[in-house]
Amino acid sequence: MIFATLFILVILALGGGLAGLLITGLGPVKRKILAGPVCGKCGYSVVGLTTMTCPECGGDLRVSGIVTPGTPQHTGALAAYFFFTSLLVFIALVGSGALLSVVPVRRSFDRDVQLAGPHSKAYQRIAIHAHEATWGAGRRSLPVEIELVPNLVATAPASSAQAMPPRMTVRPGAGYEYLDGSSRVASQDAFGANAVLAWMKIAGIDTAAGEVQREAARVAGQAHAAVRGAGLASSQARYNGLSSSSSTGSDLFNSISTSEAVESQVQVFVPIGLAGFWLAVWIAGLVFLSGRRRHQSPVTEVAGEPKE
C-alpha cells in the first residue's frame, strides 16, 4: 500500500511536472517577442502614455515595473522548474512516508472454520465465520456467523424460508439470533450448545441424537473461540498481510479446517489527499517561480504580448 502510494506520487509529480511546464513555462519565452515596453504587471503597452499609471490594471508603473525588449532577460526558468519538481518529489516521498507510517490503519480480520463430515451425517457441514474491521491493533471480540449446510437429500427443508442455508449470528456479549421460518429469534442469553441445538432443530435436524448434541457443543465451542478473537485477530503488528490455515479431524467431524487472515489498510482517502496536497504545493511553487504572485513588487518577467 505504501509503495503503491509512493508510486502514485512519483507518477503524479512527473506527469504534473510536464503539465506545469506547459502552464507556466512559456512566460519567459514569450517575452522575447515583445514589440515594445509593457506594464510589468499586466503586459499592457505603455507606449504613448503620459503618466505612470497603467490604464489597463491601474497599477503604478514605478511599482509594477516596465518590461521592454531591452530589459535584461533572466534565463534558466525551465531548469528551475525541473529542479524544483525533482526536489519536491523527494520531499513528497519522505513526507508521505512519514505520514503513512503513523496514520491509523484499518485492520480487517477473517476467521473461517469449516466443520465438515459430521459423524451424525445429519447435515453436510457447518461453517463458522468471524469478520471484523476496526482501527488499530489488539485483541477484540468479534461477531460470528454460523451457517449450516444441510444434506441434499436427507434433510428436507420444512418451509421455503429454510431453502436457504440456516444462519445464526452470535454477538459478543449480546446474545445470538437466527431466523425461524420468517420470524426472527433473538436471545440475550449466553450462547451455548443449547442455542445451537435449537437452531439445528429449526433446520430440520433430529437433535435428540447423542452425536448431534456433541457436535452442537463443539460448534458452540468453536464459535466461542471465534467470538473471543483467538489467533491472528489479536496480532499487535501495525501492518499485517498474514494468513494461516490448519486442518485436522476429530471424533465428531471428519475434517475441521481453520483459516485466518488479517489485513491492514491505509484508508483510500489518505493517499488521494496526499497526492492532491503535493500537487497543490507543486502548482503553487511553479506559480511562485513564474513570478505571478508577488507582493507589491514589479515584475520583470511578465508573460504576454503587449496589448494595444
Q: Is 91 in the site for other proteins (CB under 8 A)?
A: yes
Closest CA to 130 of 168, 162, 165, 185: 168
Cα–Cα dist 215/208, whole Å = 12
Rounded to a whole number of angstroms, the minimum distance from the CB of residue 298 to other proteins is 4
CA angle 128, 245, 255 (to 5 degrees): 60
Which phi and psi (to 5°) does residue 76 adopt?
90, 10
**Residue 148's closest CA among 184, 199, 110?**
199
Nearest CA-CA partner of 200 in 215, 182, 183, 221: 215
Question: Residue 30 interacts with other proteins (CB under 8 A)?
Answer: no
Question: From CA 122, how far away is CA 124, in angstroms rounded?
Answer: 7
Query: Which residues face 130 on adjacent strands?
Result: 111, 144
Is residue 141 within the footprint of other proteins (CB under 8 A)?
no
Contact call for residue 238 and other proteins (CB under 8 A): yes
Nearest to residue 66, comparing CAs of 31, 17, 21, 94? 31
Q: Residue count at the site for other proteins (CB under 8 A)?
A: 90
By CB under 8 A, name the one of 33, 79, 183, 251 that touches other proteins. 251
Write out the binding residues for other proteins, residues 46-65 only, by CB under 8 A.
46-47, 49-53, 60-63, 65
Comparing CA positions, the residue from 293, 283, 219, 281 lying closest to residue 252 is 219
Cα distance between residue 197 and residue 216, in whole Å:
6
Q: Which of 8, 42, 193, 283 binds other proteins (CB under 8 A)?
A: 193
Listed ranges 69-77, 148-156, 158-166, 176-184: which one lies at the site for other proteins (CB under 8 A): 69-77
- 191 makes contact with other proteins (CB under 8 A): yes
What is the distance between the alpha carbons of residues 194 and 137, in angstroms, rounded to a whole number? 33
Query: Which one of the spans 16-24, 40-48, 123-131, 161-169 is the region binding other proteins (CB under 8 A)?
Result: 40-48
Options 16, 43, 231, 271; binder of other proteins; rule CB under 8 A: 231
Say which DSSP state 6 is in. H
Specify the stretch interacting with other proteins by CB under 8 A; choose among 1-9, 122-130, 177-185, 233-241: 233-241
Which range, of 4-12, 121-129, 152-160, 241-249, touches other proteins by CB under 8 A?
241-249
Q: What is the number of other CB atoms lying within 10 angstroms of the CB of residue 238?
A: 13
Q: Kindly tell me which of 77 and 162 has the beta carbon lying closer to other proteins.
A: 77
Distance CA 233, CA 228 (A): 9
222 binds other proteins (CB under 8 A): yes
Q: Report residue 231 as a C-alpha cell.
A: 489467533
Q: Which of 7, 156, 297, 307 binds other proteins (CB under 8 A)?
A: 297
Nearer to other proteins, 197 or 202 (CB): 197
| Window of 121-129, 158-166, 175-183, 285-293 that interacts with other proteins by CB under 8 A | 285-293
Q: By the 8 A CB rule, do 88 and 278 touch?
A: yes
Q: Does residue 146 touch other proteins according to CB under 8 A?
A: no
Choose the binding region for other proteins from 142-150, 158-166, 179-187, 294-302 (rule: CB under 8 A).
Answer: 294-302
- Is 121 a binding residue for other proteins by CB under 8 A? The answer is no
When binding is defined by CB under 8 A, the residue of 157, 165, 192, 304 that contacts other proteins is: 192
> Cβ closer to other proteins: 107 or 162?
107
